[in-house]
Amino acid sequence: MSDVEFLEELLDLNHVRPTSGQKEALAMDFVIDKVDFNSALKQILQGRKETSGDVVDLTANYLTLALVVTGRSVDVSVEAKSTGSASVPIGVMFALKRASKSYEDEHFRIRISEGKVRFQGMSISNPSIIMKKVARRIIDIPEDARAIDVLSLRHIFSVDEIEDCGLHGKVLQAQTELANALDSASCSLHDYGIERTELAALTDARIKAHSAGLRKVLFTSE
């Protein structure tokens, strides 16, 4: 899948929304690398007891997952089909840590809904797993914002927030221009043994690093 096709899938304006009278089901559905998942759990659970009664807040945007527990927070990369936020008892997180050891897969699919977590092929039910509504944020960037600022929005805001602020087209255009620039650069540097994937990885790392600084500018209170 090309960079443009990937973004079009994430920013699909034709995805189904509940019609009038229907209740929107809150749920999260994302895929995460095993290494990233285990690393995040190690940081979140370090020094804590399974029976402590602590709660871990998980919030998934389409490209990142934030895990927050009292005094500690971790952000990891994910690919989400459905974004959202949930409070999960720390005992459930310990159970997921044990479960991850029984799977050899390089990626895990995790689905969270009210009272339940589905991890790969297993399911954990707990009435204290609570879905939360995520407040929409206003995206305030200048009309002539640099391309790197526009592309960084994907690492800060959810797809719905980008759509609601009318920036879907702007982000898609920036992604298209980046894809074209990568194609051109890779052709020019091909004889030097530099592949497009290397350029794309370098660019993505730079955008992610830039998004961290942009987040501080947009949310000075954080």
- Encode pLDDT of 171-184 as tens digits: 889 999 999 999 99
> What pLDDT sits at residue 108?
96
pTM of the model: 0.55
d(CA 191, CA 38): 39
pLDDT of residue 31: 96
Per-domain boundaries in the chain: 1-17+135-222, 27-132
Which amino acid, 173?
A: Q
CB within 8 Å of 77: residues ≥ 6 apart: 32, 33, 36, 63, 64, 65
Distance CA 14, CA 43 (A): 38
* Cβ-based burial of 2 (10 A; exposed 0-12, middle 13-18, buried ≥19): exposed
Kind plus residue range of the DSSP H or E element containing 4: helix 3-10
Residues in the chain: 222
What are 9's two structure tokens? Answer: 């899938």
Q: Which amino acid, one-letter code, is at 115? A: G
Q: Does residue 205 contact residue 213 with C-beta atoms inside 8 Å?
A: no
Average pLDDT across the chain, whole number:
83
Tell me the pLDDT tens digit for each residue of 44-94: 999 999 998 899 999 887 788 889 888 888 889 999 888 888 999 999 999
Bigger pLDDT: 45 vs 212: 45
pLDDT of residue 92: 96
Burial 76-88 (b: 16+ CB within 10 A, else e): bebbbbbbbbbeb
Over 90: is that where the pLDDT of 42 sits?
Answer: yes
CA angle in degrees (0–180, nearest 5) for 150-155-156: 85
Q: What is the pLDDT of residue 137?
A: 64
pLDDT digits (tens, 9 = 90+) for 131-162: 987 655 667 788 888 999 999 988 888 777 78
Stretch 206-211: mean pLDDT: 91
Residue 27: the pLDDT is 84
Task: Count Cβ atoms within 10 A of the Cβ of residue 64 and give its class: 0-12 exposed, 13-18 middle, 19 or more buried.
Answer: buried
Q: Report CA torsion sign: 20, 26, 31, 32.
A: positive
CATH of domain 27-132: 3.10.150.10
Backbone angles phi, psi at 65, to 5 degrees: -125, 125
Residue corresponding to tokens 């949310």: 219
Stretch 5-17: mean pLDDT: 40
Position 25 confidence tier, pLDDT thresholds 50, 70, 90: low
- The pLDDT score that the predictor gives to residue 15 is 38
Question: Which long-range CB contacts under 8 A does 142-151 form with residues at least 24 apart?
Answer: 147/174, 147/177, 147/178, 148/206, 148/207, 148/210, 149/210, 149/214, 150/174, 151/175, 151/178, 151/207
